[in-house]
Structure 1
Amino acid sequence: MKVSIDLGLASQGAPAPVPMDLEELLATRLLVQGNSGSGKSHLLRRLLEQSAPWVQQAVIDPEGDFVSLAEKYGHVVVDAARNEADLHRVASRVRQHRVSVVLDMEGLDSEQQMRAAAAFLGGLFDADRDHWYPMLVVVDEAQLFAPAVGGEVSDDTRKASLGAMTNLMCRGRKRGLAGIIATQRLAKLAKNVAAEASNFLMGRTFLDIDMARAADLLGMERRQAEMFRDLQAGHFVALGPAVSRRPLPVKIGSVETGARSVTPKLMPLPEAVTPEDMQDLIFTAAPDEETRLPPPPRRTPAPVPTENILSQLARATREPPRETGPAVPAMSPEERQEAIDNALKEILTDPEAGFRTAAVLYQDFLVRCRIRRITGEPLSLRAFRRRLAIAHAGIDSGELEKEDSPWGEVITMAGQLPEDMQSVFLVLARAAHDGKPCPSDAGVAHAYGSRSAGRARRLLAYMEEQGAIVSRTDGRGKRIIAIPGLAWETAPGDPNAPPASNSPIPQGEAAE
């Protein structure tokens, strides 16, 4: 059975009726766009009234405009001020009993509306297969429920609402759900939701971005989009398999029901009243008016400074003094330094230490310090990284403390590089200072904490670009690295030399 509903009259040429094929609409979905005052709600009401005798309907109504359908067409008004589980169950029963409903969300804030719509649409979508009867699902102000970008609502709420709208428009057809979405701002509507519509009714709009997108959907040139500015209220351009194969201007017909909210109209002001009488009307409470004072404004406490929070956390996590056990003897600075050096050396004796993260090694270091009962404030993670790099290069604390020691300058130079490269630079500087062969790619990779020789070569190239080292190759293809400003230079070394037998670098990973 073919059923057509009457949208109105063609506004160009002879005023011929413009029918819409209801069965085709159920299969292809509809997008309505128009700025406030363009007649978008009037169009939806016309469509709902014309199709009410033929197909089940569900209206997602954020402003309560369509509850008046209940009086004439028998729609059941569902108050959205319920929990989400109730809304989901109600929607399932709506499909089971083929009842037309209006989900009234007036009075709810944006997040509550999105959650209610997600739950209700989810119930319609998740209905049993035996209840997949044809249904028109009209969503007014669809940009609220399928926003193109995140807003003030939580991510979970936005994802739930957008997912429900996507299911309606993308997968709802096979479940008997035909989505009709209406929006004031096409640019604010998620593209994956709008793109699923095959029928369009475009009304008056003024913003260039909305006009351009409407023209794209209708297959019109951008310059033709200017026509949307000139449309009168109640006039739309229709396109789609359910109404017209070419863009067709339509004047929407009349409706039998009305919205509770009406378009503001001018009306005469009250008769002349003296200023004294006006003051009495405003400032004097009526006999039946409650005289209860409004609650005082809620004051937001001043934010706590970050320094105070950190100090509170430090006090909360500080261990209380132990009541039992022998007192730990205090260490001299020299003894403490030696104990820390020994702990670092023990860590580096582990063949896999070079491939562990600094955070893991730092925890190992703190445990070793407690075992040795090293007194004083423990090293910070940043200081530990620096000391570990120095120890990895084989630089003793005694060498650093000498008055004529060049290592202070070397460590300063290393500080100009990223933290993860400082250990490599110090290893190269140690080899150059001692005149030892230049470390191979495998050795450089090990110092960096990697097993990739290719990464080692890229690392050396970066350090040379930064001016930290100078690399050259002799006639035999061996690499020599010099440290600028110190006249230190390594002996020639084979960059492709295999790792030593005690090296943790596997042979298969030494080259990239």
Structure 2
Amino acid sequence: MKAGIDMGTTSEGTTALLDLEELLATRLLVQGNSGSGKSHLLRRLLEQSASWVQQAIIDPEGDFVTMADRFGHLVVDASQSENDLQRIAARVRQHRASVVLNLEGLDIEGQMRCAAAFLGGLFDADRDYWYPMLVVVDEAQLFAPAAAGEVSDEARKLSLGAMTNLMCRGRKRGLAGVIATQRLAKLAKNVAAEASNFLMGRTFLDIDMARAADLLGMERRQAEVFRDLERGRFVALGPALSRRPLPLRIGEVETSARSSSPKLMPLPEAGGDEIRDLIFEPAEPGYVRTPRPRVTPAPTTADIMAQLARPRPAEPAAEPAPEMSPEERGALMDEILRDILRDPDAAFASVAVLYQDFLVRCRIRRVSGEAMSLPTFRRRLAVARAGAQPGRSDEAWTKAVAFAAELEEDIQAVFLLIARAALSGEPCPGDDVIARAFGSRSPARARRIIAYMESRGIVVCRTDLRGQRIVALPDLGCETAPGDAAAKAPTAAGGSPGAENPASPDLFALG
């Protein structure tokens, strides 16, 4: 169905028709200086299309609330919370009601936040309610500024993001943006660039005239025409209006704004002493003057830099932790690491996560002395993941730990796990146990690690007559007993084999 909206008359005296169906697909941008007739144009468009399409008006000055009396628009007071505005916007789309969001009385930042919340509610409506809607935003440069102003960055990002969604992605959701601005230079380019229809009114600044001429495909020398336009006259271009720049005069409207341009009136005849008495008349008894709220100016960059350079007051020193002997400190850190590894998920956590957890626990337990470095923690974590010290001499185990320190960090725990089994004469660990020591749940990953270590000459693998795996460690001169490679890891609590063995040595006395 094709609907032609009567916007007024062209310079040739014919009716200027706006294709509403095409407008819903291509959006509209209106520009004109204050007093050029932008609000009158928007009102004409809204009145003529009120019976055809659902409408939502973002009204920063409260001029369009009079639409409610004549056309039944609901007036939404922006004094409500942002969550309420989002909920109301969703219900507006659901029930196809035309609304006016009245932002009058709010400061600029409040208007931006409320408009962003309301537009977000319209945009995020369920797919079942994506009915066609005309979304008119007056003074769009307030909600999509080209540069940062005096408002907070958060409010600006919220508002600009909502306006960008409206103009860039709103078409598929049935939202057709109609934005009006006093100056194109003040409007964010990514918002203005999405409009395909333009109505350009009176403009005086050269930069705005040049940009308007570029948008309409006119030559720069023709841009002077925008300076000579009368109030209510615009130049139209776009698939919904005209394929060539078309001057037109906007027609009359049925409703009027609550505020209008001030009219000249004669001054009162009273003068001299009479007017002086009226001005300086004493206040009535009991009159209390309401103090005007003081607006604190935003700090400048120089103020912020000076504040950062100012020395901070000395904080009271924290009570130092009691000094510990090396044996006490090692035993406490040993206990902390074992507590960490008792968590079943610790075997699969990254070293960085475990290190941060270890440092926090050390502060909680008031471990004195300098914090352990990350490389040292990596080596000792590998020792802990290998389990309890084997039953052979400390010299053999110390040699194994020293050899492991020369290997890559991610295979140290696997090497020590196999070395512990070899020095103790235990069966070779299964793929599931080796994968856990590596920090993985994949047995195939364990087999690749063993193959990599064998290619480096670190280990030598063989199988016995029953098909069980034996891993030899040439540098240590020992090998494991035969073990089933498919054996599953024990499900008992603990992050590594031997973590619950109270007879295990001090982990931090090694490596």
State the one-letter code of the partner of 2:73: H
CA distance in 1, matches of 2:52, 2:323: 86
Q: Secondary structure at the match of 1:316?
A: coil
Q: 1:176 to 1:276 in 2, by over 3 A?
A: same
Find the counterpart in structure 2 of residue 123 from structure 1.
121
* Residues 1:299 and 1:21: Cα distance change in structure 2 (over 3 Å): closer
Task: Specify the alignment match of 1:284 in structure 2.
Answer: 281
Code of the residue aligned with 2:10 in structure 1: it is: A
Report the alpha carbon displacement of residue 54 of structure 1 after superposing the two structures with TM: 0.8
Aligned residue in 1 for 2:486:
none
Aligned to 2:4: 4
Q: Which residue of 1 aligns with 2:103?
A: 105
2:315 matches 1:316: yes
Is the partner of 1:310 in helix, strand or coil? Answer: coil
Q: Are positions 1:294 and 2:290 aligned together?
A: yes
1:183 alignment partner in structure 2: 181
Distance 1:167 1:318 in 2: 52
Residue of structure 1 equivalent to 2:424: none
Written as runs of structure 1 = structure 2, the 5 A alignment for 1:73-92 is 73-92=71-90
**3-state secondary structure, aligned to 1:78:** strand
Conservation of the 8 A alpha-carbon contact between 1:62 and 1:141? yes
Q: CA deviation at 1:284?
A: 2.2
Whether 2:216 is the aligned partner of 1:215: answer no
> Structure 2 CA distance, aligned partners of 1:127 and 1:324?
63
Runs of 4+ deviating beyond 4 Å: 296-309, 317-325
* 1:280 Cα deviation from its structure 2 partner: 2.1
Report if the CA contact (8 A) 1:125-1:172 is conserved. yes
* Aligned equivalent of 1:20, options 18, 21, 25: 18
AA aligned opposite 1:186: L
How far apart, CA to CA, are the structure 2 residues paired with 1:285 and 1:101?
47
Counterpart of 1:426?
Answer: none
Q: Could you tell me how far 1:290 is from its partner in structure 2?
A: 7.2
Q: State the distance in 2 between where 1:193 and 1:18 align.
A: 26
- CA distance change for structure 1 residues 143 and 308 in 2, over 3 Å: closer, same or farther? closer
Provide structure 2 residue ranges, at least 5 long, that are not aligned to the other structure. 325-367, 371-511
Please list the CA deviations of residues 460-501 of structure 1 after superposition, one character each: whole Å capped at 9, or x if unmatched: xxxxxxxxxxxxxxxxxxxxxxxxxxxxxxxxxxxxxxxxxx
Residue 315 of structure 2: SS of its match in structure 1?
helix
Q: Within 5 Å, give how 1:106-505 maps onto structure 2.
A: 106-271=104-269, 273-284=270-281, 291-295=287-291, 310=311, 312=313, 315-318=314-317
Contact 1:285-1:291 within 8 A present in 2 as well:
no
Distance (whole Å) between structure 2 residues aligned to residue 300 and residue 65 of structure 1 = 30
CA distance in 2, matches of 1:31, 1:299: 35
Name the CA distance, whole Å, in 1 between partners of 2:194 and 2:272: 59
Compared CA separation, residues 9 and 311, structure 1 to 2 (3 A): closer
State the shift of 1:269 in Å: 1.2
Aligned partner letter, 1:316 = E
Give, as a single letter, the amino acid of the residue that structure 2 aligns with 1:276.
D
Scaled by the length of structure 2, the TM-score of the pair is 0.59
Q: 1:151 & 1:266 partners in 2: Cα distance?
A: 35
Secondary structure in 1 matching 2:76 = strand
Give the Å deviation of 1:111. Answer: 0.4
Amino acid at match of 1:277: E
- Rounded to whole Å, the distance in 2 between the matches of 1:238 and 1:129 is 33
- Provide structure 1 residue ranges, at least 5 long, that are not aligned to the other structure: 326-369, 373-512
Once residues 47 and 102 of structure 2 are traced to their aligned partners in structure 1, the CA distance between those partners, rounded to angstroms, is 18
The corresponding residue for 2:489 is none
Distance 1:286 1:257, change over 3 A: farther
Amino acid at match of 2:241: V
The DSSP-based 3-state class of the residue aligned with 2:57 is: strand
What is residue 55 of structure 1 aligned with on the other side? 53
Identity of aligned residues (%): 71
Which residue in 2 is equivalent to 1:498?
A: none
Distance 2:182 2:307 in 1: 44
Deviations 1:285-334 (A, max 9, x none): 676x971123387597999986995262xx32546799999xxxxxxxxx
Please say if residues 239 and 247 of structure 1, whose CA atoms lie closer than 8 Å, have aligned partners that are also in contact. Answer: yes
Classify 1:127/1:209 alpha carbon distance in 2 versus 1 (closer, same or farther; 3 Å): same
State the SS of the aligned residue for 2:311. Answer: helix
Matches of 1:252 and 1:296 in 2, distance apart? 42
Cα offsets for 1:229-281 (capped at 9, x unmatched): 0111100000011111100000000111111111122111112x132221222
Between the aligned partners of 1:283 and 1:138, the Cα distance in structure 2 is 47
Q: Distance in 2 between matches of 1:186 and 1:322?
A: 64
- Structure 1 residues 210 and 53, CA, compared in 2 at 3 Å: closer, same or farther? same
For residues 111-135 of structure 1, what are the alpha-carbon distances to aligned partners after superposition, in whole Å with 9 as ceiling and x for unaligned?
Answer: 0000000000000001111111111
CA-based RMSD: 2.8
| 1:290–1:15 distance in 2 versus 1, CA, 3 Å | farther
Write the distance in 2 (CA, Å) between the matches of 1:149 and 1:297: 28
Shift of 1:152: 1.0
TM-score normalised by structure 1 residue count: 0.59
Cross-structure match for 1:68: 66
Partners of 1:184 and 1:307 lie apart in 2 by: 39
Label 1:311 to 1:191 Cα distance change in 2 as closer, same or farther (>3 A).
Answer: closer
Structure 2: how far apart are the matches of 1:297 and 1:24? Answer: 49
Deviations, residues 134-182 of structure 1 (Å, cap 9, x unaligned):
1100000001101111111111111111111011011111111100000
